[in-house]
Amino acid sequence: MAEAPTDAPVIDTHGLAKRYGHTDALIDLTLRVEPGEVFGFLGPNGAGKTTAVKLLLGLARASGGGGTVLGAPLGDRLARREIGYLPELFRYQPWLRAREVVELHGRLRGVDGGGSTSSGDAAAALELVGLANRADDAVGGFSKGMQQRLGLAVALLGGPRLVILDEPTSALDPVGRADVRSIVRRAADAGSTIFLNSHLLTEVERVCDRVAVVDHGRVLASGRIDDLLGESSVRLRITDFAAADVAELRRFGRVSVGEDGWFSITGLDPERVPDVVAAIVSTGGRVHAVESGRVTLEDLFMRLVGGGSDEAASGGAPERPA
C-alpha cells in the first residue's frame, strides 16, 4: 500500500460506476472525503449507497471510473488493514461468543503483520459499545440491535484510519442511536475518518460534518451541512404589533409579513431569537408562537430525491414550521 500524506483525501473517487446486468447501480460517483471528518452518505433505498461501499472495499468491481482509499487503489488488500467496516445486512457466526468474534477480526486484521490487535483491544471495543457484560455470550442469542453494536465494535477495533458504517443505527432504539452518535464522534476525535452510510436523516444531521446525497447512482448534492441547509429563519405569530414597529425587527434580518399575524425573519443568528422576542414585547406586542424555520436535512433530502422514499420520512422528528 502506498503511504498517503496525512492531508491527502481518505476517499477520492472519480466517475465511479457499477452496472449489474442491465441495471445501473451507480452511474457517476465523484467523492472526496477528508481525513478526520464524519462524512454522511445519504440516499433512499436502492440509491447505490451500499454498492458504493462495496466498491470502496473491493467487495465488488467497478464497471467504470476509479479512485483511491487511503491513497491506495480501490480494493487494495493491504489498505484494508486500516479500514473498519460494519456491513448493512449481516450476521456474525452465531456459534461464536461476542469476544471471539472481535478477536477473530483482530487476527484477520493482523494477518500481514500490520494493525494486529490484542485481546485487550477486543475487550475495550466491547466496552465501548456497551457489550462488556455480554462478551462471553453466544452471538446467536443476540438481538438485532446487539448484533449491530457488536458490528460497531468489530468496525472500530484497533482504531482504524477509516471506519465505514453501513446503516449502523437501523436496528437500534433511541438510546442506542444516541450511544452510536457519541461513539462515532469519539472515534472521529481520536483521529478516525468516518464514512456513514444512512437514510436516517436526523442521525446524519446531528453527527456529520459533511454529507453527499445520492440517488439513482448519482451524487445530487454534497458539502458541509450548514452550507447545504442555508440560512436559518424564525417564524413568529404576533398581535398588538404596529406596522411601524416592523422596522425594529429588521435589525435582526430580512422580515416578511404573512397572514393572521405571522412574521418571518430570515438570516438571523438562532442565538438571537430571545432578543427578537424581547424587542417585540418591549414595543407592546404579544408573542403567541415562535417556530424555528430553518431548512432541515430532511427538507433538503426530500427536495433532492423527489419525496419518493418512505424511509426518508422515518429519519426522525423534523423541526419545521406548521
Partner 1 sequence: MRAAWIIARLTVAEAARRRILWVLLALTLFSVFVTTWGVERLVSLGREGPDPANELEIQVAVSQVLILVAFMFSFVLAMTAAFLGAPSIASDLESGIAHAMLARPIRRADLVVGRWIGLAAIVIAYASLSGLLEVAAVRLVSGYSPPQPWLAVVFLSGQAVVLLTFAMLLSTRLPAIASGAVCVVLFGLGWMAGVFAGIGRFFDAGPLVTAAEASRWLLPSDGLWRGTIYALEPSVVIAGIVGVGGPRAEANPFFAPTPPPTEFLIWSVVWIAAILALATWSLSRRDL
Residues that bind partner 1 (CB under 8 A): 20, 54, 57, 59-61, 77-81, 83, 85, 87, 89-93, 95-96, 104-105, 107-109, 111-112, 114-115, 151, 154
Q: Which is nearer to partner 1, 108 or 175 (CB)?
A: 108
Q: Which is nearer to partner 1, 100 or 299 (CB)?
A: 100
Cβ-Cβ contacts under 8 Å for 208 (sequence gap 6 or more): 38, 39, 40, 196, 225
Least distance between partner 1 and beta carbon 138 (Å)? 9
The enclosing H or E element of 114 equals none
The enclosing H or E element of 147 equals helix 144-156
- Region of 190 please: left (phi>0), alpha (psi -120 to 50) or beta: alpha
Of 32, 60, 37, 68, the closest CA to residue 161 belongs to 37
Give the 3-state secondary structure of residue 99: helix
Of 200, 189, 136, the closest CA to residue 167 belongs to 200
Least distance between partner 1 and beta carbon 255 (Å)? 53
Are the CB atoms for 9 and 70 separated by under 8 Å?
A: no
Pairing between β-strand 38-42 and β-strand 193-198 as defined by DSSP bridges: parallel
Least distance between partner 1 and beta carbon 102 (Å)? 11
Give the 3-state secondary structure of residue 161: coil
Least distance between partner 1 and beta carbon 262 (Å)? 51
Least distance between partner 1 and beta carbon 46 (Å)? 16
Other C-beta atoms closer than 10 Å to the C-beta of 8 total: 14
Q: Which is nearer to partner 1, 142 or 301 (CB)?
A: 142
The enclosing H or E element of 121 equals helix 119-128
Q: Which amino acid, one-letter code, is at 277?
A: V
Least distance between partner 1 and beta carbon 68 (Å)? 16
Length of the chain in terms of residues written: 322
Least distance between partner 1 and beta carbon 146 (Å)? 16
Least distance between partner 1 and beta carbon 222 (Å)? 24
Q: Which is nearer to partner 1, 20 or 186 (CB)?
A: 20
Distance CA 155, CA 158 (A): 9
Distance CA 142, CA 130 (A): 13
Q: Which is nearer to partner 1, 28 or 76 (CB)?
A: 76
Distance CA 8, CA 244 (A): 56
Distance CA 27, CA 139 (A): 38
